[in-house]
Amino acid sequence: MRRLCKKYNIRAFTLVEIILVVAIILMLAAFVMTGVSDWIETTKAANNGVNASVDDLNQKTNDSEEKLRNYGF
């Protein structure tokens, strides 16, 4: 194989180089995943707050509509 590589001037990656590249990609993926999971948790918390506000507004609207019905509107 080495003779063929020398004869045709073929260069290939070594196993160490490939392992290093895979390790770097895995580390980058881990950083991205932690960032995304933090972002998802923050979004869920904000969504829960909005849902609570909407529920409160719906309850106030229903109460107001009920009072108007009692007055004949």
Contact criterion met (CB below 8 Å) for 8 and 2: no
DSSP 14-53: -HHHHHHHHHHHHHHHHHHHHHHHHHHHHHHHHHHHHHHH
* Residues 6+ away with beta carbon under 8 Å from 11: 5
pLDDT exceeds 90 at position 72? no
Which DSSP symbol is given to 59? H
pTM of this structure: 0.49
pLDDT in tens, 3-58: 656 666 667 788 999 999 999 999 999 999 988 888 898 999 899 889 988 988 99
Per-residue pLDDT at 61 exceeds 90: yes
